Structure 1
């Protein structure tokens, strides 16, 4: 074996079946998905705008249907220049002062506007908490650091209304990237940190160096490498910078207790477990929940997904009660 082949394993082609012990809803999430279109060239802004529009049009009908009966109250707010959907789920006690500052997913280019609002409504319902969903700016017209700037503006605005002990920061996928980067930057700029952080299968490594980027490639039905998107978002900046890839941050300087969730088929499994170990190594209280056969999307609405929702709600309650 020559030096070039060292560390490589040639695996036989094989079929990967969907486990029979999963719920029917969960099994549906693991069905193969259509191959997405190729990414445009990095300098093709019109092509990227068309890519985003087409991708969002595929998602909107489903989210509209899921939230058609929602009785959540949604108020659009200007938060120091950032656009925020302030969402209160039905039945929330007026004495509840907790606010979850949420950064939506979407690969750092998708799910703004109406999609952000709908996703925030879903989060408010699942978490049974008031949510500030940040409608942050995105490429191709607004690359880094526009999204993180917006999240920082929203956090500063929320600190004017709530004490840090009443705030939970949350993000899934690309939103997990921004949520973790927000914590690092807020700390570096001398802001008080929130009571806790939720990272759901977070995109915390834009260099895509983790093992699962290889081992779960094609096994996760809903996600592929986003390297071309990562480069578009970074706009020439070093992908390994902690504000772009929070996994590589210094957590020993201060970081809030964190709950992390992923699944064994998640392309971002390595992102999540490496972030968990990095936090633990720095002495940060961090819990990791890994769902059997879970893809990047998780299992929303399935019994397996409802278990994770319960864990996150319990995390929020535990962190706020200690504030």
Structure 2
């Protein structure tokens, strides 16, 4: 099914929305009218691995896709408790492999927010295990990247983060893992070997409970030799980026995403 609709009030902001199926994994393709040719973002939504869908996030994704001038494939991965770990990772691999039959890996960039950011990070590790060519890079917005949930920011920012908490993280992790150890790097990517991975662009808030997940992942990946770009924003809520362009903070975050995406893709497109 294909639908065409305006993402924002701008003649260049029309997007085509199409529901696809990649070997049983539903994917929503959102294609702006002025998208770069033969490039894409592969998006994984948040929701603690137990809530959310590409449709729920489609408006935010469409607005960001227009800003990035890049089509987005948003993955409807399986959720817990009906489908526990590693179902989401398996679906991410299936979607990636299917998309790279159309778009070269070096023209594809991962993007995930919250649990989706953790899933995008896990996908990078899993692709290397499977010896599948890596994407050009990844954007991780406030990734939930450590399902042990032992970070100090859970307590430090408990009063300033209204969208996530230690209690919610504990419940969501138990539902998703279903007894599997949180120390598995495909569940907690901060515990993985990041050597040889492409650029990672991390954005998080200094006042959210997942702040330390971003800081730890940035340190681990940097120590492994990865090109990590970390921006820690002041006093904004969890996943404020998705409010683009309704707040100055979300505009700043997506402007940085646009800049970094251009560095990743424009030289390849021009080649």
Aligned equivalent of 2:3: none
Question: Which stretches in structure 1 are left out of the alignment for 5+ residues?
Answer: 1-65
Give the superposition deviation at 1:222: 1.8
The answer for the alignment partner of 1:142 in structure 2 is: 83
The answer as to 2:82 corresponding to 1:82 is no
Matched, 1:124 2:65: yes
Q: Displacement, 1:316? A: 0.8
User: 2:148 & 2:40 partners in 1: Cα distance?
Assistant: 32
Q: After the TM superposition, which segments of 4 or more aligned residues of structure 1 sit over 6 Å from their partners?
A: none
- Alignment partner, residue 311 of structure 1: 256
Structure 1 residues 144 and 194, CA, compared in 2 at 3 Å: closer, same or farther?
A: same
Q: 1:80 to 1:123 in 2, by over 3 A?
A: farther
Is 1:100–1:170's contact at 8 Å kept on the other side of the alignment?
yes
2:117 maps to what in 1? 176
Matched positions, count: 255
- State the TM-score, normalizing by the size of structure 1: 0.75
Contact 1:120 1:132 in 2 (8 A): no
Cα gap change, 1:88 to 1:144, in 2 (>3 Å): same
Question: Mapping of 1:193-212 within 5 angstroms?
Answer: 193-212=134-153
Partner of residue 33, structure 1: none
Contact 1:176 1:202 in 2 (8 A): yes
How far does residue 322 in structure 1 lie from its aligned partner after superposition?
Answer: 4.4
1:265 and 1:293 in contact (8 A); partners too: yes
Task: Give the distance between the partners of 1:233 and 1:277, measured in 2 at CA.
Answer: 26
Higher radius of gyration, 1 or 2: 1
Report the counterpart of residue 34 of structure 2 in structure 1. Answer: 91
* Equivalent-residue separation in structure 1 for 2:84 and 2:267 (angstroms): 37
Question: For residues 231 and 117 of structure 1, what CA distance do their matches in structure 2 show?
Answer: 28
Residue 116 of structure 1 and its aligned partner are, at CA, apart by: 4.4
In structure 2, the partner of 1:259 is 201
Residue 227 of structure 2 aligns with which residue?
285
- Establish whether residue 191 from structure 1 lines up as the match of residue 121 from structure 2: no
Q: Root-mean-square deviation (CA), in Å?
A: 1.8
> Higher strand fraction: Structure 1 or Structure 2?
2
1:320 alignment partner in structure 2: 265
Task: State the SS of the aligned residue for 1:169.
Answer: strand
Secondary structure of 1:191's counterpart equals: coil
Match of 1:213 among 115, 138, 154: 154
1:240 and 1:293 map into 2 onto residues whose CA distance is: 30
* Structure 2 unaligned spans of 5+: 1-5
Q: 1:231 to 1:161 in 2, by over 3 A?
A: same
Cα deviation digits, residues 89-127 of structure 1 (max 9, x gap): 23335xx22100000111111112531444432432343
